[in-house]
Amino acid sequence: MATILIIDEQKVSREPVIALLGRHGHQPLVALDGEEALGIVRVKKPDLVLADVLMPDMDGCQFLMRLRAEPDAARLPVVFRASAQVEAEARELLRDSGNPHFITKSAESETLLAAVHSALSGTPSQPLTPRSGTGPVGARLHTLAYRFQQRVAELEGVTAQLNRRLSEYAAQLTSARSALEQEVTKRIWAERELTEVNRQLHDKAVRDALTGLYNRRYLEESLDREVSRARRSGLPIGVMMIDIDNFKRFNDTFGHAAGDAVLRAVGQHVLSLTRGEDILCRYGGEEFVLVMTHASPRAVWERAEALRQEVQSMKVEQGDRRIGPITLSVGIAMLPGHGDSGQAVLHAADAALYEAKRAGRNRVVLGNNEQI
């Protein structure tokens, strides 16, 4: 097998050639330019040179003249690799300059090996007659090299310009993405704030300012909804109308601040005894309404009795005064037993409350004076 000197400054193109020759038993040597290759020729005395026709420091014609001037390299076989664009012209220019072999840089492995074997086994090349680098062959090769290098420079310039534009577009895209993310974040926060403000406004609209309980407006919205559900499910609804007995007495005796304290205390106490699905509202003045869904008449009655009894023992303090005793009158109506709509049941509960007050207050009355 042969020792082959490869002249190629590009690692990406020379490494496959080195591997290929090594697999076929050849010993590759590497030089990055013509001057380094001449030094290796003097020392290592390779059997063949595989070189680019355009090297960094000299062209193929100059290299051949320098190579043939070496005492032991006058007949050293040379295989030039050239791009498809310059191969034909380079072959014509160097036809009489030592008769080197040519292959394209993009040639398949089999083609490269065939050229190497042909050069190694063929008739030795004729010594190169030194001639001026400014002669016809040198001038044409220099022209070819200049044009090729000029084209490469143009392509490199276009590539650099494209890279700059890509960098600019990337920077613009990053800036636009950042601005968009900021805008989206601002809008999300604005929507959250608007949602919270709307929630607070709605809460104020359906809450009683004094007791913190739902107000009559909320009751009207909720009761119709619960009645519709009860009709679909076939389950009953109980409605309590709750009134603080003799409430005017608290205002007249202790002042309106005391009356407000009684309203708050009764409202919070009733709220503490309700279920999560119940609806408790301040209906107006000293009246409260408690809506119990999915509850039987007995369950509603027992809840009303528990409220009435516990409120009797409740003490309300206003400053250094204790206000009491406090009693409740409660009227109960059931849907569908006492009405087929929310308003009808409310009227029935109000009528039952009137009967509780007429009967002496501090008691619970079921609609139509029914007994449990």
Residue 202: the pLDDT is 73
- Domain of 315 in residue numbering reads as 216-369
Report the CATH number that the domain containing residue 250 is assigned in CATH: 3.30.70.270
Is residue 269 located within the same domain as residue 251?
Answer: yes
Establish if 40 belongs to a structural domain.
yes
Establish if 211 belongs to a structural domain.
no
Is residue 291 located within the same domain as residue 361?
Answer: yes
More confidently predicted of 158 and 330: 330
**What 3-state class would DSSP assign to 72?**
coil
Q: How far, in Å, CA of 18 to CA of 43, rounded?
A: 20
Residue 335: the pLDDT is 92
% of the chain exceeding 70 in pLDDT: 87
Q: How far, in Å, CA of 81 to CA of 50, rounded?
A: 7
% of the chain exceeding 90 in pLDDT: 45
Q: Which pTM does this prediction carry?
A: 0.50
pLDDT greater than 80 at residue 267: yes
Q: What is the mean pLDDT of residues 328-338?
A: 94
Q: Which of 151-155, 156-160, 295-299, 312-316 has the lowest mean pLDDT?
A: 151-155
Residue 132: the pLDDT is 40
For residue range 185-229, list pLDDT tens digits in order.
Answer: 889 998 988 888 887 777 778 899 999 999 999 998 899 899 999
DSSP string, 79-137: EEEE-HHHHHHHHHHTTTSS--EEEETT--HHHHHHHHHHHHHSPPPPPPPP--TTSHH
Is residue 357 located within the same domain as residue 224?
Answer: yes
Asked if 328 and 307 touch (Cβ cutoff 8 Å), the reply is yes
Q: What is the mean pLDDT of residues 151-175?
A: 85
Catalytic residues: 286
Type of residue found at 76: L
Residue 94: the pLDDT is 63
Asked if 244 and 286 touch (Cβ cutoff 8 Å), the reply is yes
- The pLDDT mean for the chain works out to 85
Establish if 353 belongs to a structural domain.
yes
Is residue 91 located within the same domain as residue 195?
Answer: no
pLDDT greater than 50 at residue 230: yes
Residue 99: the pLDDT is 61
Residue 133: the pLDDT is 43
Residue 36: the pLDDT is 94
Q: How confident is the model at residue 309 (pLDDT cuts 50, 70, 90)?
A: very high
